[in-house]
Structures are given as C-alpha cells and as structure tokens.
Amino acid sequence: MKYIVCEKPGEFILKEKDEPKKVPGEAILKIKKVGICGTDLHAYAGNQAFFEYPRILGHELASEVLEIEENDKGIRPGDNVVVMPYVNCNSCIACRNGKTNCCTKMRVLGVHTDGGMQEKISVPISLLIRTPDLNDNAMAIVEPLAIGAHAIRRAQLQPGETIVVVGCGPIGIGIMKLAQIAGAKVIALDVNQGRLQYAKEKIGVDHIVLGGEGSVDKVRQITNNDLATAVFDASGHKGALEFGHNYMSHGGRYVLVGLSKGEIVFAHPAIHAKETTLMCSRNATLEDFEHVISVLKDGNFPIDSFITHTVDLDEMISNFDGWLDPANGVIKAMVNF
C-alpha cells in the first residue's frame, strides 16, 4: 500500500509497504481523507515541538472500518469513523482525573507515532467514534474543530462575552464559530487581511482587526475601553503569544491554544495587574469531539468554504510547499485517498 513519510524537514517521500495486520483491541481502517494541519506544516518546516523524524504525518482523518472485533461501541465493518488521535495511558494522574488530552505518556498519531497519511492504518478501537451522519469532508475536520471546542470549554466561556481570537487559521476559525454558537461576540485578529475577510464574510465574526501598530487601541474602541474578557491565541507565533494579553481586560483569561517551540516571556507586572488567568489548552477530549460532531450534523459550520484546497495522495508532495505560502489563501488543505 502507498504511504507518504516526512523523512526530515523539507522532504516527503512516497513509498509502499505491507498492509497492517489486525491485532486484538485494534481496528483496520481505510483512510478516505486526511486534513493538513498546522502540526503537519510545522513538522515539514522543522519547527514542530515534540517531534522526531522520519514520521508519517496525518491525524485529521476520515476513515471507514475494514476489520474490527466485537466491541462495546457497536462499531462494525463498513462504518464511517472519526479517529481521536490521542493515544493515552488511562492510568496516569491526568487520565485518572479525566484529562486524557494531556496524558503524561501521550502519543499523538502523526506526531509521536505514525499517522494516517497511508492507505490503511491500525488503531485502538477506543479511539474510534462512529459518525453515520457526516460526510467525508465533515469527518476530516472534526479533530481541528474539537481543539477549538476544548479551548472554549477550558475558558468557561459565557453568553454575551466579547473575546479576541488571535490567528485566523483553521484552529482560530473553529474557535470563532464555536464561540459564536456559545453566544460570544468575536473579534478576529490577524496580520493577513484575506483571512480576516474570510472570518468576516464566511464565519460572520462581529469585528476584524489587522494586527500590528494600533491593534490594542482598535480593540479598546470596539469594547468601549473594556478590552476582551477572554483572549485565545491560535497562532502559535512567539511574538503574538507574548503580546496577546494586551487585548485582555482586567480579570480576564488568556488561553494559549497555539504552540511555540521555544520560550515565551511576559512582563509580570502587566499580567499581575490584571489578575490574569493564564491557561494552556491542549488537544481535546471525547466530550469536545461529540460537541463538534453535533455542530457539523446540524449544518452550523461552513465546511465548503473552510476546505480551500484538495488533492489526491499522489499529488500531495508537489503541492505541499505551496500550502506554506500565505499568498495562496490556504485555510484547510485536504488529501483524498
């Protein structure tokens, strides 16, 4: 079967290998679509944290069950399933407290272990969610939207709040739409005017702000000088991460969803004066996946405009470099199998 491996930064190779053999407790899946995420882009560029080469990327998966043993989820061969790509231990302090998304022994498909950029894959049955009501495109975007859903739940977002989301990439866009569904007013902030226009026209955010000089003053104007009660960084950019708390109100929450590989620095008096609640949001849990599946089932997310680029597996390598260029307007690229 065919698969694509990232041998080292900047190098993909299309190869062939034997099909996976079924083992107890796991299911053999046929991969139908793989979404390309920021983790994949960073891994290819050589700046992804917690990463080793070579690695088969891909953890935003639409798949069909080929082989599976009898299981308490009622999943059978032929079922469409979404994969929760976070392999956790179920025994550490985080797992015992229901925080399986930050397991101390976490193995994420496509990051710590090989992912879905292959025609077939064997994964634990415990990671599968049956999705009979979603098409392939919807299934392939459940995981990135679940990351946004988890961040919103972490922040305990309330109806009527005004929030700032920094970064209009796929994760940021998911946060914006899901925050709107939760009743929040959304200010989208980015340095890319095209992505801001997408957030305004397709997501329907309340306000857009171009990042850079004067951006804090613009947020002040929008909020009648209050600033935002919650700020979500979905950029992962060091400078943005270090600056984002300036958009936050006194008594607010600053939620770091994007991941930077290096150190970030805050001026303590600035965050202390606001009694800042600083929190990180990592991955997602079953609750978040189920919420997103419900949102997609009800047609409350603009899937067609969100997926901007689609290629077949054999074409991925020749197209990948172009997806790194902001001028090409990529929001979500998708690989068909």
What DSSP string runs through 169-229?
SHHHHHHHHHHHHTT-EEEEEES-HHHHHHIIIII--SEEEESSTTHHHHHHHHTTT--EE
pLDDT band at 56 (very low <50, low <70, confident <90, very high): very high
Cis peptide leading into residue 159 (ω within 30°) = no
Main-chain phi, psi angles of 11, to 5 degrees: -140, 115
CATH code, residues 2-141+301-336: 3.90.180.10
| CATH topology agreement for domains 2-141+301-336 and 148-280 | no
% of the chain residues with pLDDT over 70: 100
Question: How far is C-alpha 278 from the geometric centre of its chain's CA atoms?
Answer: 20
CA 243 → CA 17, 235, 302, distances in Å? 46, 12, 30
Q: Name 185's bridge partners.
A: 162
**Is the Cα dihedral 334, 328, 293, 190 positive or negative?**
positive
pLDDT value of residue 153:
98
pLDDT of residue 50 exceeding 80? no
**Residue range 59-75: mean pLDDT, rounded:** 97
CATH class of the domain comprising 148-280: alpha beta
Closest among 213, 168, 211, 212 to 186, alpha carbons compared? 168
pLDDT value of residue 317:
96
pLDDT value of residue 52:
86
pLDDT of residue 39 exceeding 90? no
pLDDT tens digits, one per residue of 269-318: 999 999 999 999 999 999 999 999 999 999 999 999 999 999 999 999 99
Name the one residue in this structure whose structure tokens are 């009622």: 74
| Average model confidence (pLDDT) across the chain | 96
pLDDT value of residue 268:
96
Question: How far is C-alpha 132 from the geometric centre of its chain's CA atoms?
Answer: 22
Distance CA 7, CA 1 (A): 18
Main-chain phi, psi angles of 269, to 5 degrees: -55, -35
In the chain, where the domains are located:
2-141+301-336, 148-280
pLDDT tens digits, one per residue of 94-129: 999 999 999 999 999 999 999 999 999 999 999 999
pLDDT value of residue 26:
97
